[in-house]
Structure 1
Amino acid sequence: MSDLGEAPHATMKRVLFVCVENSNRSQMAEAFAHIYGGNAVEAFSAGSRPSGVINPKAVRFMDELGYDLSRHASKSLDEVSGEFDAVITMGCGDQCPWVPTKRREDWGLPDPKHMDDEGYRQVRDDIAQRVRALLTSL
């Protein structure tokens, strides 16, 4: 029997999620892309002015879903390179510079860092739904 499957990188999609601090929304989006995309997606997140830390609330609320966000690092856009199949900004407007991509979307999500637990969960769950829809459409 021969293996007729494609090389793993032949159809792998590259997705970048961008927000200003890279500590909440874009980190959760990257996590959901890993969860839903598996080996078919190469997911990244970055910030235009990264805080250098992952918000403990983001870690806590992703842990509720069984994902360890504490393994992520807050990073700058300067640390990611190449062309992407999709670049998704999280409502950072002009503070998110241009990155080479085939598809660009701005989700205009509120920053949950000062929200109560219920508000934070709502933003997290909205991100989950949007990431799932994005990956289906790529």
Structure 2
Amino acid sequence: MTDLSSRVFNVLFLCTGNSARSIIAESVLRQDGGGRFRAFSAGSQPKGEVHPTALKILENFHYPTSYLRSKSWDEFAGPDAPVMDFVFTVCDNAAGETCPLWPGQPMTAHWGLEDPAGATGTALEREMSFIETLRYMKLRIAAFAALPVASLDRLSLAAQLHEIGRSEGATRHRPNVA
């Protein structure tokens, strides 16, 4: 029997372009997850590059960026991919798309945030959108990392994950994520 209290959980953050929100989430969980999580990100239609402002903001707040790259979720649906324990959509478009079948039946939830890459206004206002995304993602990840995953039943854990997705900054779209 596996001791869940010492297990490292695989977490995949999904977005359509995999250039900002999911990238930010991956970097934050890698650093702030206390060694309990392996974080990944991907997109259904990856842009092929990480948004430069996402990299700038992460670096300014001392988050690692050297390994970050925009990639397809197909990398995580194949037989050689790591089995995910959790899959979170962070944009409404990805939440509404038909996702691949993830091996291992991971827990899923929607943690939608506005796309900072779509922000308008001055350069400072656009940069502030990325900082706000980082702040909201840090709050979600802190709440997630604090959950007693090993002691919660699947239904209670699912409720907690969905509640995190409804926290400050959440988009209004509420898809039915299984």
State the TM bucket, normalised to the shorter chain. 0.7 to 0.9
The question of 1:56 aligning with 2:52 is answered yes
Instruction: Kindly indicate whether the alpha-carbon contact (under 8 Å) linking 2:33 and 2:141 is maintained by their aligned counterparts in 1.
Output: no
Structure 1 stretches (4+) deviating beyond 3 angstroms? Answer: none
Q: Unaligned regions of 5+ residues in structure 1, if any? A: 1-5
- Given candidates 106, 119, 123, the residue that maps to 1:102 is 106
Task: Output the TM-score relative to the length of structure 1.
Answer: 0.84
Distance 2:133 2:141 in 1: 12
The count of residues paired between Structure 1 and Structure 2 equals: 131
Q: State the superposition RMSD in angstroms.
A: 2.0
Residue in 1 that maps onto 2:89:
89
Distance 1:123 1:88 in 2: 15
Distance 2:129 2:98 in 1: 24
Task: Output the TM-score relative to the length of structure 2.
Answer: 0.67
Distance 2:136 2:84 in 1: 22
Tell me: CA distance 1:93–1:87, structure 2 relative to 1, closer, same or farther (3 Å): same
Residue in 2 that maps onto 1:135:
145
Q: Which amino acid aligns with 2:137?
A: I
**Structure 1 segment 4-83 matched on structure 2, within 5 A:** 11-80=7-76, 81-83=81-83
Instruction: Kindly indicate whether the alpha-carbon contact (under 8 Å) linking 1:89 and 1:96 is maintained by their aligned counterparts in 2.
Output: no
Instruction: Kindly indicate whether the alpha-carbon contact (under 8 Å) linking 2:17 and 2:70 is maintained by their aligned counterparts in 1.
Output: yes
Instruction: Kindly indicate whether the alpha-carbon contact (under 8 Å) linking 2:31 and 2:64 is maintained by their aligned counterparts in 1.
Output: no
Q: Which amino acid aligns with 2:46?
A: P
Q: Unaligned regions of 5+ residues in structure 2, if any? A: 120-125, 150-178
The question of 1:111 aligning with 2:115 is answered yes
- Quote the sequence identity (%): 30
> How far is 1:71 from its partner?
3.0
The question of 1:124 aligning with 2:134 is answered yes
Distance 2:97 2:26 in 1: 19
Distance 2:8 2:52 in 1: 31
Greater RCO, 1 or 2 (C-alpha within 8 Å, sep 6+): 1
Q: Which amino acid aligns with 2:136?
A: D
